[in-house]
Amino acid sequence: MKLSIRHLLLLSCLLAGWLYGPSVEAKSGKSVEAPKPCDAVPSARQLAWHDLGFYAFIHFTTTTYRDLEWGYGDASPDEFAPDRLDCRQWMNILKAAGMKGVIFTAKHHDGFCLWPSRFTDYSVRSSSWMNGQGDVVGMAAREARKAGLKFGVYLSPWDRHDMRYGTPAYVAYYRDQLRELLTQYGPIFEVWQDGANGGDGYYGGLREKRTIDSRTYYDWATTDSMIRQLQPSACIFSDAGPDARWCGTEKGFVGEPNWATLHRGNYAPGKAKTEGLQHGEKDGAYWVPAEVDVSIRPGWFYHQKEDTRVKTVDELMTIYYNSVGRGANLILNVPPTRSGLIHPIDSQRLHDFGRALRKEFSRPLPRSLVKEVFASNERGGRASRFTARNVVDGKKLTYWATDDSVSQATLTLILRSPQQLHCLRLREPIALGQRIDTFTVEGLTSAGRWVLLDSGSTIGPQRLLRMADEPVSQVRVTVGSSLACPLLSEVACFLPPKEG
Ligand code: FUL
Ligand code: CA
């Protein structure tokens, strides 16, 4: 029998209903209620966002040609002059690195628009590049899609070129531009709202300092509702969410613990409170997960003098473990050169990193090597749909749950033979909220001793733990504390990658 997409959708809905639904009869005959979700849970758009994990940032504009990080806003449109621009080259490199999407700087602080906006003459339309016929946003969006990468936009709220900046007319202009970006370039997965508002700039030739009240000036609520209307699946990123938050640093890590929850009211774009952004807030009322933004080079824009400072594969791997490995998403910036291509050093590095990533997780412990999985408590008993065995079935939707009264529990994987483990991946079924606070992982050595392999705080959509060398015949995860009864959808073990 052939299954159509509709059949598959129906089946997955039934499965999700069964797993997260209110109540069913377990095989034991007892009625077992699914655990209730925590107060703050992700929306459907956030759940899809969590699945992306790793994507790219591209910083490219006139600033690239001035060798600056923040363009002042006075560059002539003619200065933007890539002679070999090739967005397909960018996308193929990003794809090979294992990325799932790309966010492009449609307009950085210098105000120059990389698409021919109808609302300003400060754009590619005024450049002699391609006789004013060019549209980098369009090219990037098209090539991203062809490569199977999701596309997102960065539109800097701070605009050092535009005369209107600081007045209500500028906010209307910002929204007009955003409307163009959200209606002309297909599906957008994320809209990046930068918090920087540095003050001085060109501002239509006045060359002065302008300050705004970042809490009130932009009226983000109105802009965000426009985004919702035009691109309902797009996640909105800023220092304060609503869908994803800045992690509070540009060094390439999120804190531990990393809660996806936050008291949103205490945050505003441009008003970063590093501690809360790095760690989230355990009792936060909103689901606002962290995104880790970091550049492959020291700067966000390309500078030849940084050709020797491209991050190494080891550095990138550490960043990956400290971001994706702590349940955040990673947005890695790769700046094109003046010619419009990704530099060969960065390209080679990303190629090597992609290979290293694939290798890192290339040897999942075969299911046949797991003899049994036991837990100190299984909701509804051993035969229920919440059995501990759900953590090794390779399915994200199935999970182990305990009874509601439980906040400490152990789950033990018994292996058929001692194995040297390389890495462990733990996942909570976050559709029901982030619950596990502290945990330890121990291994049973051949000497019959339990040794501590790792311990930590928070798991979320995924937690990657690097393991020590000693072979173990059992792996025991102990939940020390949990905000509500603990749930785990996966305890995946990876064996050391084969050399070569
Ligand atoms: C910051 C900006 O000021 C940088 O130039 C860069 O765009 C970075 C991603 O965000 O706030
Ligand atoms: Ca599972």
Q: Could you tell which of 250, 294, 296, 301 is best to mutate to test the pocket of ligand 1, judged by most ligand atoms within 8 Å of the CB? A: 250
Q: Could you tell which of 194, 251, 301 is best to mutate to test the pocket of ligand 1, judged by most ligand atoms within 8 Å of the CB? A: 194
Between the CA of 293 and the centroid of ligand 1 the distance, in Å, is 9
Q: Which residues pair with 201 in a beta bridge?
A: 208
Report the distance separating Cα 203 and Cα 160, nearest Å. Answer: 6
Atom of ligand 1 nearest to the CA of 158: 3
Residue nearest to atom 6 of ligand 1 (CA): 300
Residue nearest to atom 4 of ligand 1 (CA): 300
Q: Which CATH number fits domain 44-360: 3.40.50.300, 3.20.20.80, 3.30.43.10, 1.10.3470.10?
A: 3.20.20.80
DSSP code, position 62? H
pTM above 0.85, yes or no: yes
Q: Please report, as a single letter, which amino acid is at residue 352.
A: D
The number of residues in the chain equals 500
The strand ranges marked E within 270-420 are 286-287, 290-295, 329-333, 370-375, 400-401, 409-419
Give the pairing type, strands 235-238 and 244-246. parallel
Report the distance separating Cα 80 and Cα 112, nearest Å. Answer: 9
Give the pairing type, strands 329-333 and 54-58. parallel
Atom of ligand 1 nearest to the CA of 154: 7
Residue-by-residue pLDDT tens, the chain, 500 positions: 344 544 544 444 445 555 565 444 444 445 799 999 998 999 999 999 999 999 999 999 999 999 999 999 999 999 999 999 999 999 999 999 999 999 999 999 999 999 999 999 999 999 999 999 999 999 999 999 999 999 999 999 999 999 999 999 999 999 999 999 999 999 999 999 999 887 999 999 999 999 999 889 999 999 999 999 999 999 999 999 999 999 999 999 999 999 999 998 888 888 778 899 999 999 999 999 999 999 999 999 999 999 999 999 999 999 999 999 999 999 999 999 999 999 999 999 999 999 999 999 999 999 999 999 999 999 998 888 999 999 999 999 999 999 999 999 999 999 999 999 999 999 999 999 999 999 999 999 999 999 999 999 999 999 999 997 789 999 999 999 999 999 999 999 999 999 87
Residue nearest to atom 3 of ligand 1 (CA): 196
**Which residues lie with the beta carbon below 6 Å from any ligand 1 atom?**
69, 194-196, 293, 300
Residue nearest to atom 2 of ligand 1 (CA): 196
Atom of ligand 1 nearest to the CA of 156: 7
Report the distance separating Cα 484 and Cα 500, nearest Å. Answer: 45
Between the CA of 263 and the centroid of ligand 2 the distance, in Å, is 30
Q: Which CATH number fits domain 367-494: 3.40.50.300, 3.30.1490.100, 2.60.120.260, 3.10.129.10?
A: 2.60.120.260
Task: List the domain boundaries for the chain.
Answer: 44-360, 367-494
Residue nearest to atom 11 of ligand 1 (CA): 196
Report the distance separating Cα 405 and Cα 484, nearest Å. Answer: 8
Atom of ligand 1 nearest to the CA of 301: 5
Between the CA of 196 and the centroid of ligand 1 the distance, in Å, is 7
Q: How far is C-alpha 437 from the chain's CA centre? A: 21
For residue 311, the number of C-alpha atoms closer than 13 Å in the C-beta half-sphere is: 24
